[in-house]
C-alpha cells in the first residue's frame, strides 16, 4: 500500500528550501524518487487507485518540499513521511493533501 504525504510552501522569505526534487510521472514513481533522494530503501509495493493519481502526486510533491517531513525507518529503511501531516512527527505542512489522498483512497 502506498502512503504519501506532501508539504507545500515556505512562509519564511529568504530561507532556502529544505526539499528534494522528485522525478517521475506517477505518484509511485515520485514516491520511489523521494525514497532514493532521502537515502531510504526503494518501495517494495506501491498501490494507488487510478482515480487517486492526481491527489497522490500532490501529496508526494508536498512531502518532498521539506526533508523534515520524512525519514527512513530504522528497522527496514522504508520511507516514512507521516511528518508531512502529523504535527507531532514533523512540520505537517501537507495536511490538506494527505486528507484528500485518504478521502480518495481509504486504508
For residue 106, the model assigns a pLDDT of 73
Question: What pLDDT band is residue 107 in, cutting at 50, 70 and 90?
Answer: low
Residue 22: inside a domain, yes or no?
no
Residue 89: inside a domain, yes or no?
yes
DSSP 42-66: PPS-----GGGHHHHHHHHHHHTTB
**Residue 6: is its pLDDT beyond 80?**
no
Residue 62: inside a domain, yes or no?
yes
Mind listing the pLDDT tens digit for each residue in 15-62?
A: 446 899 999 999 999 999 999 999 999 999 999 999 999 999 999 999
Grid cell locating 78: 522504508
Angle at 29 between CA 10 and CA 51, to 5 degrees: 90
Grid cell locating 98: 494527505
Residue 20: inside a domain, yes or no?
no
How many domains in the chain? 1
Mean per-residue pLDDT for 66-75?
96
Closest CA to 79 of 36, 46, 29, 24: 36
Residue 68: inside a domain, yes or no?
yes
Residue 16: inside a domain, yes or no?
no
Q: Indicate whether this model's pTM tops 0.75.
A: yes
Residue 50: inside a domain, yes or no?
yes
Amino acid at each position: 500500500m502506498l502512503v504519501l504525504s506532501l508539504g507545500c510552501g515556505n512562509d519564511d522569505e529568504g530561507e532556502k528550501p529544505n526539499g528534494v526534487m522528485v522525478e517521475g510521472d506517477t505518484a509511485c514513481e515520485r514516491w520511489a524518487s523521494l525514497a532514493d533522494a532521502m537515502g531510504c530503501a526503494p518501495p517494495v509495493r506501491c498501490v494507488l487507485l487510478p482515480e487517486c493519481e492526481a491527489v497522490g502526486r500532490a501529496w508526494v510533491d508536498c512531502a518532498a518540499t521539506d526533508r523534515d517531513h520524512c525519514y527512513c525507518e530504522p528497522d527496514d529503511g522504508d520511507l516514512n513521511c507521516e511528518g508531512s501531516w502529523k504535527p507531532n512527527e514533523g512540520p505537517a505542512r501537507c495536511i490538506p493533501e494527505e486528507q484528500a489522498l485518504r478521502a480518495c483512497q481509504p486504508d
